[in-house]
Amino acid sequence: METNTTKTKKPKSKPKVKKIVVGFICTGNTCRSPVMEYVFKDLLRQKKKLSKYKVYSAGLSVSVGDGMAFYSSEVLGKNGIAVKAHSSKFLSHAHIKETDYFICMTQGHKNALSCLKDKKVFTVGEITGGADVIDPYGGTLSEYEKMYEHLAYSAEDILEFIMKNEE
């Protein structure tokens, strides 16, 4: 009696590539950092690089569960970026552990993360050579539009900076 001793080989799966994790940080996670998260994800989609990154936003002084500021959502929509439900969140220990790049809206936010000695922490202004991103909270639509323009202008520089540092 003959037996078949050949084993069937399992197809080789592609090795899992670790995504680069980018966290955008502001104060309340209702205006600047969620807008930057959406703008950056939109840029990654356009460049067909979204699969290589995990992007989130968080705040340092948050009323957990607050939605995105109305004008933040409005300026994103006006610029063709669809907004899903947003719920503000604190920068957590889990975020800190997994994040490769923290991109802060201001020097003050970066200073608050100064204890993260082994992490890459930058401000938008450091990367772009520009200023801190002004907080439009409670301001006019015009102020939110200026904030959006600052962040939209900065997104490409931030992506190039990260890509250059990952080479």
Question: How does pLDDT run across 107-118, given as a tens digit for each residue?
Answer: 999 999 999 988
Residue 10 lies in a domain: no
d(CA 93, CA 75): 31
The total of other beta-carbon atoms located within 10 Å of residue 150's CB is 22
Residue 97 lies in a domain: yes
Residue 1 lies in a domain: no
Structure tokens of 4?
Answer: 């078949």
Say how many domains are in the chain. Answer: 1
Model confidence pTM above 0.85: yes
Give residue 17's pLDDT. Answer: 81
* Whether residue 48 has pLDDT greater than 60: yes
Residue 135 lies in a domain: yes
Q: Which domain holds residue 84?
A: 20-162
Q: Residue 64 sits in a domain of what CATH number?
A: 3.40.50.2300
